[in-house]
Amino acid sequence: MATAPDARQDDRAAPRFPSPLYDLMYGHIHASVLRAVVLHGIPDLLADGPLTAGELAARSGTRVEPLRRVLRLLAARGLFREFPAPPASPESRVSPASPVSHESDDEQRGESVFGLTESGAALRSDVPGSQRAPVLMFTDEMFHRSAAALPGTLRSGEPGFDAAFGVPFFDYLADAPVKSGLFDAAMTSRPGTSNADIAESCPFPASGTVVDVGGGRGGLLREVLVRFPGLTGVLFDRPGTVAGHLLDDEALTGRWRAEDGDFFTAVPRGGDVYLLKNVLHDWPDEDCVRILGVLRAAVEPGTRLLVVDAVLPEDGSAHPAFAVDIIMLMLVRGRERTAGEFRDLLARSGFRLDHVVPTPSLSSVVVAEAV
């Protein structure tokens, strides 16, 4: 019995690591820290290898101590690596070439060396699949103000974005070219939607024309045309979006064209396969039926439609798209859907769902046919 108090004391002294509750509660802090280092270009500064916090601060115009503390948190989250600083030589401490520091001794103590992990390297702006644009978009005021308005959304059912900005999301983008450009760039490279994975998973014919409706800047269409040299393509989206297309490639010369317009009104005719990537999840059911109805009016029976969107599990098991579904709730009137919900939308619009193809990315391919 004499050991019980000591055992209880040991229990009280044991470290308690954050629970899922704490991860959720501090989530906005992690997002803000991530945004700060990306805006200051820290990942790009580490492209050639690790640097001390002092070197990073001098090159980015930041202060050593706050930067070190921010990077320490991101190192704990697996995006950076932190190393002990090597001892400075007497010469380096008094080198005339060294910049004069206006930091206090307090701010310079405990300096560490930081490098990028494999995950953190995706934050660089100069790497294939860079996640810089998605980070800046998902941490933008468009998102955090919409998220802050969620309590009102639960009462009204209206997107928090409308309450925060006074206009619907896509109307706002139409009048905000900088934010619209950020949105388009982020959609081209956002995590979990690898165009290569999707193109490889989609059942494309050996020849014919692929019409990418609401195809953004054409990242997916470009991947499809590169992989399937017998196909030609049509990129269809808003004028400002298709103007920034990614299809200028010698290998694709003569195999594509871009058209602008409104998919609520009309879409290009004559395609053999139609793509809708990350379109239907932006809209409520009635608008989806309108989009699909316009598309059905443009195609012949038997034409294949490939809907690329997250497909939620019917049984409610864990899936990263549940978080994306909340983004839809915050920003627009859309939603992520189950296979059964896609089947119903398609049936109401003159299409028949054939099957669903999972991909290694967040999205699946809902394969349908015009009836």
CATH number of the domain bearing residue 46: 1.10.10.10
Is residue 72 included in any domain, yes or no? Answer: yes
Beta bridge partners of 138: none
Span 339-363, pLDDT tens digits: 999 999 999 999 999 999 999 888 9
How confident is the model over 107-150, as pLDDT tens digits?
454 478 999 999 999 999 999 889 999 999 999 999 999 999 99
* Same domain membership, residue 68 and residue 105: yes
Given this model, what pLDDT does residue 20 score? 85
In a domain, 241, yes or no: yes
Q: Answer yes or no: do 326 and 302 share one domain.
A: yes
Percent of the chain scored above 90 by pLDDT?
74
Domain-located, residue 360: yes
Mean predicted lDDT score pLDDT of the chain: 89
158, 267: one domain: no
Same domain membership, residue 48 and residue 109:
yes
pLDDT at 23: 87
* Strand-pair partners of 212: 235, 275
Counting the structural domains of the chain, the total is 3
Query: CA 363, CA 371: separation in Å to the nearest integer?
Result: 25
Instruction: Verify that 94 and 138 share a domain, yes or no.
Output: no
> What residues make up the domain containing 153?
132-187
Task: Report pTM.
Answer: 0.81
Residue 101 shares a structural domain with residue 144? no
Query: In the chain, where do the E strands start and end?
Result: 51-52, 80-84, 112-116, 208-213, 231-237, 256-260, 273-277, 304-309, 311-312, 337-338, 351-358, 364-370
Same-domain check for residues 183 and 196: no
| Contacting residues for 314 by C-beta, under 8 A, at least 6 apart | 338, 339, 340
Residue 34 lies in a domain: yes
Domain's final residue, options 123, 147, 165: 123
139 and 202 belong to one structural domain: no
Q: What is the pLDDT of residue 171?
A: 94
Rounded average pLDDT over 326-338: 96
* Same structural domain, 154 and 36: no
Same domain for 176 and 202, yes or no, is: no
Structure tokens at 282: 């932006």
The answer to whether residue 101 scores a pLDDT higher than 70 is no
- Point out the domain boundary residue: 72, 95, 123: 123
Residue 166 and residue 332: Cα distance in Å, rounded? 13
Region 209-238 average pLDDT: 95
- Do 178 and 233 fall within a single domain? no
Of 10-14, 81-85, 294-298, where does mean pLDDT reach its minimum?
A: 10-14
pLDDT recorded at residue 26: 92
Residues 117, 174, single domain; the answer is: no
Indicate if the pLDDT at residue 95 is higher than 60.
Answer: no
Q: What's the pLDDT at 109?
A: 47
**Which pLDDT score is estimated for 240?**
85
Q: What is the pLDDT of residue 126?
A: 94
**Mean per-residue pLDDT, 31-36:** 97
Among 148, 170, 187, the domain boundary falls at 187
Query: In this model, does residue 97 exceed pLDDT 50?
Result: no
| pLDDT(335) > 90 | yes
Whether residue 11 is predicted with pLDDT greater than 60 in this model: the reply is no
Q: List CB contacts of 232: < 8 A, sequence separation 6 or more.
A: 208, 209, 210, 225, 255, 256
Residue pair 92/99 in contact (Cβ under 8 Å)? The answer is no
Residues 81, 63: Cα–Cα separation, whole Å: 19
Percentage of residues in the chain having pLDDT higher than 70? 87
Please check whether residue 14 lies inside any domain of the structure: no
Range 255-261 average pLDDT:
96
Domain assignment present for residue 6? The answer is: no
Task: List the CATH number of the domain containing 274.
Answer: 3.40.50.150
Catalytic residue among 28, 40, 102, 281: 281
Residue 183 β-bridge partners: none
Active site annotation includes 28: no
Q: Is residue 15 part of a domain?
A: no
Asked if residues 266 and 330 have their Cβ atoms less than 8 Å apart, the reply is no
In a domain, residue 11? The reply is no
